[in-house]
């Protein structure tokens, strides 16, 4: 097996991530890395592990799961979910989150951390209506994060939703479903290098100003 310390997978030696790469802001570089992961054939290049804080047991605890990045702009990253889900409740109570993208074949990861807010109903509607009908039906059928007795029970829920919207061309957005925008106050780009001397460049954003620093690996 190749020793990862001696076989950087991502880039040539002369393509070393540096603070200068962030001169145009964090968003163009994140977009570029997602595009490169897509070109490399990485499955779900927009997948990101989303960490939230649960206060359910009185003690703050981290909770992580994967969601898909469905919007990217200098404002932040957008994902869609059920507002009544565990993550939805956690974000309502503590509106801060962290996401991590990981593209193993490229030896890269990106962390985005900051405050979270709901996107507008118009933004959610535009995304919702572009989704496949099956996904829309599934979103209506699932009370995400709630226990259910069996798979059969879930299929019955779906059958009811299919019947309910049988005559409806444009299925409406569920009232408890929509997008969250994570507005970063910190973004870190990580690139695997030899001898574990990886490249880490962090951007910290406060208002209109930002600080770009190299971190030790």
Ligand X SMILES: Cc1cc2nc3c(=O)[nH]c(=O)nc-3n(C[C@H](O)[C@H](O)[C@H](O)COP(=O)(O)O)c2cc1C
Binder to ligand X among 144, 154, 157, 176 (CB under 6 A)? 144
Q: Where are the beta strands (DSSP E) in 17-106?
A: 47-54, 61-68, 71-73, 76-82, 96-103
81 part of the interface to ligand X, by CB under 6 A: yes
Burial of 167 (0-12, 13-18, 19+ CB in 10 A): exposed
CB 115 within 8 A of CB 75: no
DSSP 99-112: EEEEEGGGTEEEEE
44 part of the interface to ligand X, by CB under 6 A: yes
Only one of the segments 5-13, 61-69, 154-162, 209-217 lies at the binding site for ligand X (rule: CB under 6 A); that segment is: 61-69
Distance, CA of 212 to CA of 108 (rounded, Å): 18
Distance, CA of 147 to CA of 37 (rounded, Å): 35
| Closer Cβ to ligand X, 123 or 145, answer by number | 145
Only one of the segments 10-18, 85-93, 152-160, 179-187 lies at the binding site for ligand X (rule: CB under 6 A); that segment is: 85-93
| Closer Cβ to ligand X, 31 or 65, answer by number | 65
85 part of the interface to ligand X, by CB under 6 A: yes
49 part of the interface to ligand X, by CB under 6 A: no
Neighbours of 209 (CB within 10 A): 7
# of chain residues touching ligand X (CB under 6 A): 14
Distance, CA of 73 to CA of 132 (rounded, Å): 24
CB of 2 to ligand X, least distance (A): 27
Binder to ligand X among 32, 40, 65, 133 (CB under 6 A)? 65
| Closer Cβ to ligand X, 146 or 160, answer by number | 146
Only one of the segments 33-41, 74-82, 130-138, 167-175 lies at the binding site for ligand X (rule: CB under 6 A); that segment is: 74-82
176 part of the interface to ligand X, by CB under 6 A: no
């Amino acid at each position: 097996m190749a020793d990862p310390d001696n076989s950087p997978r991502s880039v040539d030696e002369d393509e070393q991530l540096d603070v200068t790469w962030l001169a145009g802001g964090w968003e163009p570089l994140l977009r570029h890395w997602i595009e490169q992961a897509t070109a490399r054939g990485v499955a779900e290049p927009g997948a990101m592990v989303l960490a939230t804080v649960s206060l359910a047991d009185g003690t703050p605890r981290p909770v992580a799961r994967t969601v898909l990045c469905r919007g990217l702009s200098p404002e932040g990253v957008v994902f869609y979910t059920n507002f009544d889900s565990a993550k939805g409740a956690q974000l309502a109570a503590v509106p801060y989150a962290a996401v991590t993208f990981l593209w193993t074949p490229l030896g890269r990861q990106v962390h985005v951390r900051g405050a979270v807010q709901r996107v507008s109903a118009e933004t959610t509607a535009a995304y919702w209506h572009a989704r496949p009908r099956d996904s829309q039906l599934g979103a209506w059928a699932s009370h995400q994060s709630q226990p259910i007795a069996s798979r059969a029970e879930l299929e019955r829920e779906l059958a009811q939703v299919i019947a309910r919207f049988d005559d409806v061309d444009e299925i409406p957005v569920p009232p408890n479903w929509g997008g969250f925008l994570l507005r970063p106050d910190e973004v870190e780009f990580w690139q695997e290098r030899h001898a574990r001397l990886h490249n880490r460049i962090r951007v910290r954003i406060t208002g209109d100003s930002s600080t770009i620093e190299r971190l030790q690996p």
